[in-house]
């Protein structure tokens, strides 16, 4: 029997109120297509271009109590909307990278300092974390970046200036860089 929408909302709100949720998420529309936005109590933990696949991965990383709770994602969605509308250059959000291996976390920390509208290279980022020959490992860390857009892996390009790769697809990387006014 189909359940009334109000009942569904009430259950989700009660689950959140009782603190029973490991990960709260929602799916948001964006110029890049649907984005899954997910948070733990510690902060933003995932933005995913393929919402369906992300749920299992969230359950494995943070606990199986993964539940859609739109209200919890309001602030992240607002900042994303502002960014896509060209009214925001920096995100002011706590993040939770607890399942990310330590080296990747360091790389993502460095990545977070690459400013809006600028690009860097895999090699330059490798040098920043003290592993100048590890450009390939940096590529791996970018490829598994759990919070694209907010942690701006789209701002990392090849030494020759070519876009090279993006887990969300090169067309999305290009779209993000154009939005930031980077000449391609």
Partner 1 sequence: MMDAVIPPFERFYCEHREEVFGLLVRRLGRERAEDAFQETFLRALRAYAALRHGRHLRAWVLTIARNVAVDSYRREPPAVELQEPVEVPRRPAYAELEHLTDDLPPTERAAVVLRYAYDLPYAAIAAALGSSEEAARQAASSGVRRLRKKEPA
Query: Catalytic site residues?
Result: 153
Q: Does 170 bind partner 1 (CB under 8 A)?
A: no
Q: Does 39 bind partner 1 (CB under 8 A)?
A: no
Among residues 29, 56, 82, 90, which is the contact residue for partner 1, using CB under 8 A? 56
Q: Does 59 bind partner 1 (CB under 8 A)?
A: yes
Among residues 68, 75, 77, 106, which is the contact residue for partner 1, using CB under 8 A? 68
Span 97-136, contacts to partner 1 by CB under 8 A? none
Q: How far is the CB of 2 from partner 1 (least distance, A)?
A: 6
Q: Which listed range, 56-64, 75-83, 101-109, 112-120, lies at the site for partner 1 (CB under 8 A)?
A: 56-64
In angstroms, the first-to-last Cα distance of the chain is: 54
Q: How far is the CB of 55 from partner 1 (least distance, A)?
A: 4
Phi and psi of 22, rounded to 5°? Answer: -75, -45
Q: Which listed range, 52-60, 98-106, 164-172, 173-181, lies at the site for partner 1 (CB under 8 A)?
A: 52-60
Q: Does 5 bind partner 1 (CB under 8 A)?
A: no
Q: How far apart are CA 43 and CA 94, in angstroms?
A: 5
**SS3 of the chain:** CCCCHHHHHHHHHHHHHCCCCCEEEEEECCCCCCEEEEEECCEEEEEECCHHHHHHHHHHHHCCCEEECHHHHHHHHHHHHHHHCCCCCCCCCCECCCCCCHHHHHHHHHHCCCCCCCCEEHHHHHHHCCCCCCHHHHHHHHHCCCCCCCCCHHHEECCCCCCCCCCCCHHHHHHHHHHCCCCC
Tell me the site size for partner 1, rule CB under 8 A.
25
Span 15-34, contacts to partner 1 by CB under 8 A? 15, 18, 20-22, 25
Q: Does 8 bind partner 1 (CB under 8 A)?
A: yes
Residues of this chain that interact with partner 1 (CB under 8 A) are 1-4, 7-8, 10-11, 14-15, 18, 20-22, 25, 55-56, 58-59, 63-68
């Amino acid at each position: 029997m189909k359940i009334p929408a109000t009942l569904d909302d009430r259950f989700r709100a009660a689950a959140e109120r009782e603190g029973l949720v490991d990960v709260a998420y929602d799916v948001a529309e964006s110029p890049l297509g649907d984005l899954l936005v997910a948070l733990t109590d510690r902060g933003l933990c995932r933005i995913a271009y393929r919402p369906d696949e992300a749920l299992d991965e969230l359950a494995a990383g943070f606990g199986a109590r993964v539940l859609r709770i739109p209200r919890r994602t309001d602030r992240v969605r607002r900042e994303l909307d502002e960014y896509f509308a060209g009214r925001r250059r920096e995100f002011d959000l706590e993040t939770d990278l607890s399942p990310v291996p330590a080296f990747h976390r360091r790389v993502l920390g460095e990545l977070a300092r690459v400013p809006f509208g600028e690009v860097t290279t895999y090699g330059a980022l490798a040098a920043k974390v003290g592993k100048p020959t590890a450009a390939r490992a940096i590529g791996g860390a970018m490829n598994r970046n759990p919070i694209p857009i907010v942690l701006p892996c789209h701002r990392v390009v090849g030494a020759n200036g070519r876009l090279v790769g993006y887990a969300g697809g090169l067309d999305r990387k290009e779209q993000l860089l154009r939005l930031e006014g980077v000449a391609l």
